[in-house]
C-alpha cells in the first residue's frame, strides 16, 4: 500500500451515489485506496470488477469491507479488517441508508419495525462506525468525515407548499394514499444533529466534518425508481462527483455545515 494514497472508507459503495462516488475517486488525478463498504462479498466483488472495467487506467486501489450497519458485530469486524491493512484513514463517508416507505409494509414490516430499522441503519450504525474509526481518522494529516443527508431533512423546505412531498391531503380520515417519509426524513434530521455533535467533538482535532445533501437522484433507495423520476430526480453520477469535490477540498470553508449539490434556497441548508 502506498503511503501517498488518500485512504477512504465509504459505506453503501456498491450502488447508487456510493458507487458513483467511488467511480469519480477512481477517475481523479489523485490516488486513493478505497474501502468499499458492502453488505455481502458478492456485492463487493461485482462492484469492484465493474468499477475497474470502467476505470482501467486508475491510479487508485479498491478493497472490500463487508459491513452491515444493523449489526455491531459486523461493524466491529469491518473495522478490524481495515486495521489489518492500514493504521489510518483519511476520509470516512457515511453513504449507506434505507427508506422503507415504498416496500416496508408490503414486506410485512410493522410501522415500529420500519422506524427501528431506519434509525438503526441511518443513525446508530454510522454513529457506532464513526466512534470505532476515530483513532484511525486522527492519524491522518487531513481527516474528513462526511454524512450523506437529504433535502427532505430541511425544516425550510418543509415549509415550502410547492414541494411535491409537502402537499396537504383533504380533511377526513383515513387520508388518501400519499408518499410519506416519516421515518426516513426524521432520521436524516437526526443525522444532521449527529454531524453537528461530531463537528464539535472533533473540532480541536482538526477533523473536517459535513453533512452532504447529494440532491434528489434516482437510486434504489426505497425500491421505487419510478416515483423518484416523477419527483424530478436526476442522475446519481453528478452526486458522486459532488461528494468527491468535498473530499478534495472545494467546500473546506463550510465545515460544520450541510452542503449540497443543488438546492432551492441556496447552497447551505439552514438548521
Active-site residue set:
150, 184, 188
Other beta carbons within 10 Å of 261 = 21
Question: What does the DSSP 8-state code read for residue 175?
Answer: P
Place of cell 457515511: 94
What is the spatial distance between Cα 62 and Cα 132, in angstroms, rounded to a whole number? 21
Q: What is the gyration radius of the CA atoms in the chain, in angstroms? A: 18
Question: Within 13 Å, how many C-alpha atoms sit on residue 133's CB side?
Answer: 34
Place of cell 468535498: 246
Phi, psi of 258 (to 5 degrees): -95, 120
What is the spatial distance between Cα 119 and Cα 3, in angstroms, rounded to a whole number? 36
What interhelical angle do 125-137 and 182-202 show, nearest 10? 20
Q: Which residues contact 72 (CB under 8 A, 6 or more apart)?
A: 128
What is the spatial distance between Cα 216 and Cα 48, in angstroms, rounded to a whole number? 25
Other beta carbons within 10 Å of 266 = 9
Amino acid at each position: 500500500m502506498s503511503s501517498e494514497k488518500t485512504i477512504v472508507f465509504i459505506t453503501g459503495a456498491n450502488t447508487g451515489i456510493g458507487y458513483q462516488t467511488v467511480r469519480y475517486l477512481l477517475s481523479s488525478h489523485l490516488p486513493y485506496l478505497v474501502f468499499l463498504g458492502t453488505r455481502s462479498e458478492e456485492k463487493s466483488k461485482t462492484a469492484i470488477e465493474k468499477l475497474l472495467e470502467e476505470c482501467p487506467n486508475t491510479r487508485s486501489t479498491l478493497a472490500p469491507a463487508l459491513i452491515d450497519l444493523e449489526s455491531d458485530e459486523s461493524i466491529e469486524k469491518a473495522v478490524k479488517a481495515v486495521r489489518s491493512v492500514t493504521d489510518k484513514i483519511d476520509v470516512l463517508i457515511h453513504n449507506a441508508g434505507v427508506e422503507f416507505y415504498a416496500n416496508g409494509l408490503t414486506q410485512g414490516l410493522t410501522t415500529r419495525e420500519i422506524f427501528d430499522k431506519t434509525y438503526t441503519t441511518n443513525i446508530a450504525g454510522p454513529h457506532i462506525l464513526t466512534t470505532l474509526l476515530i483513532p484511525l481518522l486522527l492519524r491522518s494529516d487531513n481527516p474528513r468525515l462526511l454524512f450523506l443527508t437529504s433535502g427532505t431533512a430541511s425544516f425550510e423546505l418543509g415549509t415550502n407548499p410547492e414541494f411535491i412531498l409537502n402537499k396537504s391531503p383533504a380533511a377526513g380520515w383515513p387520508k388518501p394514499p400519499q408518499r410519506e417519509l416519516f421515518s426516513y426524513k426524521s432520521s436524516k434530521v437526526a443525522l444532521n444533529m449527529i454531524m453537528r455533535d461530531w463537528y464539535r467533538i472533533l473540532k480541536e482535532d482538526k477533523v473536517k466534518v459535513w453533512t452532504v445533501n447529494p440532491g434528489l437522484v434516482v437510486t434504489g433507495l426505497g425500491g421505487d425508481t419510478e416515483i423518484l423520476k416523477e419527483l424530478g430526480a436526476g442522475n446519481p453520477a453528478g452526486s458522486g462527483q459532488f461528494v468527491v469535490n468535498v473530499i478534495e477540498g472545494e467546500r473546506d470553508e463550510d465545515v460544520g455545515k450541510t452542503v449540497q449539490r443543488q438546492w432551492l434556497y441556496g447552497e447551505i441548508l439552514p438548521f
